[in-house]
Amino acid sequence: MGLSDMTRPLTDAGRAGLAALLAAPRDAVIALDFDGTLAPIVPDPDRARADPGAAPALRALAPRVGAVAVVTGRPAALAVEYGGLAGIDGVVVLGHYGAERWENGRLTAPPPHPGVAAVRAELAERLAALGAPEGTWVEDKGRSVAVHTRRTAEPTAAFELLRLPMERLAAEHGLVVEPGRLVLELRPPGVDKGAALTGLLRERGARSVLYAGDDLGDVPAFAAVEGLRPQGVAGLLVCSGAVGDAPVRELADRADLVVPGPAGVVELLVALGEELSRPAAGR
Ligand SMILES: O=P(O)(O)OC[C@H]1O[C@H](O[C@H]2O[C@H](CO)[C@@H](O)[C@H](O)[C@H]2O)[C@H](O)[C@@H](O)[C@@H]1O
């Protein structure tokens, strides 16, 4: 297939990022968000699965680059399961915004934050008292709890109704709210995808990075890539423009390339794999 017009960056910085990745792939990290980037958005988070082309594309890329990483708000083990990543050598999964790390079948994680248990105990009563509309659904993620409004009759209105009260509840217990696509996640502070990505890039001595994301939780990773460019790490920022929902404007505006959802991300990954499998000078 090769790099088509759809998979070519539109900015000078993005073209420089892609050129650096192709010239020295072993010095490159390819890092991807999960929901909305590798997996299409669906109403029930338990049913989210990576695009069928994602795992084969990552399997082809992993031996050719410095690292392939999935950087997600999901528990790392769930992203491994829903992504079909278990048997792919060289994939690192940074879960819970970087609090967890899965690599070679091993999960490392800090002890749970006590505020999560406190919020868990109070949440149902608080939501009822706030008049949370029917369809409001709580995802218990172990290290955090996420309040989803996608399945209510008016998801955006429900999200706005709950946003401030959830911020207050989180603060009462030393947590923060991570807003996402029709979801308010109450989670421990001190981690974000920017710090998680930067740590991995430093660990691998990366000289280039491709990062693809679709949601507000990916903004710190975009900012990290932008901040590393002047330090000599070339970066290609890809926005997975959600199919169905409007794309997150902040990401689309900062991206070097916008692709149509997970199918577009997979098309890009496949094209990169093919490009890297061709014999080329210097590789
Ligand atoms: O960092 P990510 O991998 O993008 O995870 C962010 C959140 O994704 C999930 O919620 C989103 O996807 C769901 C399934 O498609 C969708 O129903 C929901 O509306 C989206 O917000 C996940 O459920 C959350 O726990 C993650 O934090």
pLDDT, one tens digit per residue, over 147-188 is 999 999 999 999 999 999 999 999 999 999 999 999 999 999
Average the pLDDT over each of 4-8, 80-84, 240-244 and give the range with the smallest value.
4-8
Average the pLDDT over each of 3-7, 18-22, 234-238 and give the range with the smallest value.
3-7
- 215 in ligand 1 pocket by Cβ < 6 Å? yes
What is the atom index within ligand 1 of the atom nearest the CA of 97? Answer: 1
Distance 75 CA to ligand 1 centre (A): 11
Judged against a pLDDT cut of 50, whether residue 281 lies above it is answered with: no
- 73 in ligand 1 pocket by Cβ < 6 Å? yes
pLDDT, one tens digit per residue, over 62-113 is 999 999 999 999 999 999 999 999 989 999 999 999 999 999 999 999 999 9
Provide the pLDDT confidence category of residue 279 given band limits of 50, 70 and 90.
Answer: confident
Q: Model pTM?
A: 0.95
pLDDT, one tens digit per residue, over 9-41 is 999 999 999 999 999 999 999 999 999 999 999
- Under 8 Å CB-to-CB from 124, ≥6 apart: which residues? 138
Distance 260 CA to ligand 1 centre (A): 17
What are the percentages of helix, strand and coil residues in the chain, rounded to 5?
45, 20, 35
Which residue puts its alpha carbon closest to atom 23 of ligand 1? Answer: 45
Q: Indicate the top mutation candidate among 138, 149, 183 to test ligand 1's pocket, ranked by most ligand atoms within 8 A of CB.
A: 183
- 74 in ligand 1 pocket by Cβ < 6 Å? yes
**Residue 2, pLDDT score:** 62
Amino acid identity for residue 188 in this structure: P
Provide the pLDDT confidence category of residue 283 given band limits of 50, 70 and 90.
Answer: low
The chain-wide mean pLDDT, for the chain, equals 95
Cα gap 130→166, rounded to integer Å: 10
Distance 16 CA to ligand 1 centre (A): 31
- 183 in ligand 1 pocket by Cβ < 6 Å? yes
ipTM: 0.98
- Under 8 Å CB-to-CB from 220, ≥6 apart: which residues? 192, 193, 194, 195
